[in-house]
Amino acid sequence: MMEIEAENSIKKDIVNYIIVLLLAVGKGYAVSIYGNALGTTIVALPIAIALIIMIFRNPKIGLLVTLNYSFFSNGLQRYTSPDIPFGLGVDIILLISLIAGLFKSNKGSINSWVFYMSLIWFSYTLIELVNPEATSKEAWFYSGRGVALYQIMVIPITLMWANKKKDLDGFIYIWITWSLIAALYAFKMYYLGLTEGEQKWLDDGGNITHFIQGRLRIFSFFSDAGQFGAAMAEACLFCLIMAVGPYEKKVKIRYAIIAAITFWGYALSGSRGPLFVLASGGFLYLFLIRNFKVLVIGVTIGFLAFAFLKFTTIGNTNYQIYRMRTALDPNDASLQVRLNNQKLLRTYLKTRPLGGGIGSGAGFGERFYPGRFLSGVALDSWYVKIWVETGIIGLVIHIIHIIILLIVGVVNCFKIKNPDIRQKMMGIVCGYFGILCASYGNQIFGQFPTGPIMYISMVYMFICVRWDKEISETNVKEVAK
């Protein structure tokens, strides 16, 4: 009997090897005749079909694929072809996941204010389609994905299929693991040099923003140094909060090491805005722990760090310290340019309460609205982008939306009794607040990977008290037994 099973196993292996060999030969032949695009399609097609089947069986897989993919999707073009729209892969995965999730019976409920508030914001962005200033629907699609579309897809999928305490732990594991990998790759770029694709990306225009005073701002495999720096700062803040949490020594040491690594990754980015992720998020944490002694110590350390950067020139020979110091200089040339741009925009938008339309600002605006005033003015800030593209009405709705979420997250942190859940949620809420503050200086909020991290965090900030109650009820039942 065992011999028959072994023989059948060998036959299956031979069949599998033959199939793989035929696929390889077929791809090689297709590439030789039609080029690399068709060969890649032949290999990617069965993988895509398998992924779709898996998502329909378990829609959470689509969310996890999106979260993982978001860390490197924007940088893939440097290593492959700039003509491949890797970002569209996220749209397809999320749409399939949402459709699959809605039609399965064993899903969780989307009956939550975090969903309804996102729905209100998304509905307003749909109104922008009839904005008389917005003549390009294609611009809305490309820019609207980061503004509202991804949010309205990620939040219900998370509510329905990733709403357990174990999902929070899995989310944190993926987030911190990729952050660590990104930081280590950044070290490789800084100490060992760039790949051919990375150097070409710089030569094709990246040098303008990524070479400052002859120094390279490290961007790892992210879209740019600003996004990389913010992601590193948020991960660093979370790990610092976990390192002082109610955990055993080896866990604290592990988080402390990752915090140090991601902090140096942030420093290598040469980005100034992410400094406010650490500062604002850190002060919020001191408020959340409600420990007066620690609060005084933390404020003192924060003041000394601020005074060191603001009122001294010590360490200016170190480029990373110098760049952090310029973030606190009100006379910085870059800051003055931004303020002047905002004055121009204020005048232009005074008669346009709906803004210029989603996708009309610099970036996509240069592509879809060439020659228009808005397409030629650098936006820089996430909030300026929202203001320009959705008007003062949109800006007010958006700020109310994200501030309410922050307040709910803070209140829930005070409600939670379980020390593990509370520490993790304080880290997430503080990271969320830090990104909100840093987004004033850069368009961080809606980009990958920060966007998906923020959207999933929004859900957990709302539903975390549910886990606390579930664990308490479980403990009571165990005691009763």
pLDDT band for 481, please (50, 70, 90 cuts).
Answer: very low
Q: Which two tokens stand for residue 34?
A: 């039609």
Residue 336's pLDDT is what? 65
* In the chain, where the domains are located: 58-480
Contacts of 413 (CB under 8 A, 6+ apart): 288, 422, 425, 426, 429
pLDDT band for 73, please (50, 70, 90 cuts).
Answer: confident
Please name the helix (run of DSSP H) or strand (run of DSSP E) that holds residue 211, with its range, or none: strand 211-212
Each residue's pLDDT tens digit, 290-316 = 776 666 766 676 666 656 555 566 666
Determine contact, residues 232/262, Cβ cutoff 8 Å: yes
Each residue's pLDDT tens digit, 392-432 = 999 999 999 999 999 999 999 999 999 999 999 999 999 99
Each residue's pLDDT tens digit, 181-217 = 999 999 999 999 998 888 988 888 888 888 877 788 9
Which residue did the predictor score with more confidence, 324 or 304?
A: 304
Residue 424's pLDDT is what? 97
Of the candidates 225, 195, 182, the one whose C-alpha atom is nearest the C-alpha of residue 70 is 182
Q: Which two tokens stand for residue 154?
A: 């990620």
Residue 480's pLDDT is what? 42
Determine the average pLDDT of the residues in 124-142. Answer: 89
Q: Which two tokens stand for residue 267?
A: 């420093």
Determine the average pLDDT of the residues in 144-165. Answer: 93
Of the candidates 346, 367, 357, 350, the one whose C-alpha atom is nearest the C-alpha of residue 133 is 357
Residue 212, classed as helix, strand or coil, is: strand
Question: What are the angstrom distances between the C-alpha of 357 and each of 115, 130, 456?
Answer: 24, 9, 27
- Packing angle between helix 292-311 and helix 319-326, nearest 10 degrees? 100
216 phi and psi, to 5 degrees? -85, 130
pLDDT band for 103, please (50, 70, 90 cuts).
Answer: confident
Determine the average pLDDT of the residues in 159-167. Answer: 93
Model pTM score: 0.85
Determine the average pLDDT of the residues in 146-161. Answer: 93
Residue 478's pLDDT is what? 46
